[in-house]
Amino acid sequence: MSNGIWTWAAACVALLCGAAHADALDDIKARGTLVCGTQNASVPYAYQDAATRTFVGYDVDMCAALAKGLGVALQHKPLSTEARIPELKMGRVDVVAGAMAYLPERASQVDFSLQYLQGGIKVLVKQKSGIATLDDLAGKKICASKGSSSAAIAARVLPKAHVLSFQDVASCYLGLQNDKVDGFTAGELVLKRFELDSQSKGDRTVLLEQATYIEHIGVVVNKGNPKLLAAVNGVIRDMDKTGALDAMYDKWLGLGSIYKLARTFKVEPVDTP
């Protein structure tokens, strides 16, 4: 009798432990929906189209591709830059395709998929400022979006500059135009939009040629979900093989965009040197 009770108890514990450690992929499949987070105001990654009021961008398309690849519907959730990891950790999103670059401190909290995007972090300054190199930023005020990899990198590679965190990239650009800061650091594509915008209004701005860092960007999932991570990696590999990743890149960053860039990155681990 005693052995039977212990056997029953052990079975219950095993079931409870199994439920507690269920992979998020199982939940996604059961509910039939992938909740995919992106940034909420970062052109061309994820932003609200002024005409349609819907969210569009490279990362929004990536969310749609992931949902399709997993065979479920998409629920897109726009997030502020600093909320990307907290929202994931609290279970409010299943994955984040938020133009999130690999950093060791991030990798200690979350898991990164294979690289689906790569880009440089640069600095935007006013053309009339006389700032021409990263060395010229010593003693200058440099703005970065709160919680961004740009902010973390700037603190490391620009130790002689005063790095300030503003709420978002739009606030940083406004600060630059209003002379509250001397420079604005972010992803090259984000800065390129502001540089082009300044040609028709405000003081003209220019991008410094030297990058502060090359970002290796992956989709982020919560730790302890190997099945979901493997499934996401499978979708990205398939997109690479079929040309779907090239088409998405061309639409938002390549010949179909204002940037006219050529894709040079490989689908590989984000921590590849």
Q: What is the pLDDT of residues 102-117, one digit of tens each?
A: 999 999 999 999 999 9
What's the Cα-to-Cα distance from 177 to each of 39, 74, 202, rounded to whole Å?
23, 38, 7
**Domain end point (choices 186, 214, 242):** 214
State the first-to-last Cα distance of the chain, in angstroms, to the nearest integer: 60
Query: Which residue in this structure is represented by tokens 């590849």?
Result: 272
Is residue 14 a part of any domain in this protein? no
Same domain, 124 and 171: yes
Kindly provide the residue ranges of all beta strands, DSSP E only, lying in 33-109, ordered along the sequence: 33-39, 47-48, 55-56, 73-79, 95-96
Separation between Cα atoms, residue 149 and residue 147, nearest integer Å = 7
pLDDT for position 21: 58
Is residue 7 a part of any domain in this protein? no
Q: Phi then psi for 159, rounded to 5 degrees?
A: -65, -20
Separation between Cα atoms, residue 98 and residue 75, nearest integer Å = 14
Whether omega before 44 lies within 30 degrees of 0, making that bond cis, reads yes
Is residue 19 a part of any domain in this protein? no
> In terms of C-beta density within 10 A (0-12 exposed, 13-18 middle, 19 or more buried), how is residue 10 classed?
exposed
Same domain, 111 and 232: yes
Are the C-beta atoms of residues 23 and 62 closer than 8 Å to each other? no
Structure tokens at 169: 């990239």
pTM: 0.78
Is residue 182 a part of any domain in this protein? yes
Separation between Cα atoms, residue 3 and residue 9, nearest integer Å = 10
Is residue 15 a part of any domain in this protein? no
Same domain, 224 and 114: yes
Same domain, 221 and 110: yes
**Domain end point (choices 214, 240, 261):** 214
The low-confidence residues of the chain, meaning pLDDT below 50, are 1-20
Same domain, 64 and 129: no
Write out the residue range of the structural domain in which residue 234 sits: 26-118+216-269
Is residue 5 a part of any domain in this protein? no
Is residue 143 a part of any domain in this protein? yes
The β-bridge relationship of strands 162-166 and 141-145 is: parallel
Same domain, 109 and 129: no
Structure tokens at 128: 């009339």
Number of domains in the chain: 2
Same domain, 47 and 65: yes
Separation between Cα atoms, residue 219 and residue 238, nearest integer Å = 15
Same domain, 112 and 32: yes
Same domain, 236 and 156: no
Same domain, 107 and 220: yes
Same domain, 137 and 86: no
The β-bridge relationship of strands 73-79 and 33-39 is: parallel
Collapsing DSSP states into helix, strand and coil, what is residue 65? helix
CATH of residue 138 = 3.40.190.10
Same domain, 132 and 86: no
**Domain end point (choices 214, 242, 258):** 214
Is residue 240 a part of any domain in this protein? yes
Structure tokens at 189: 């594509």
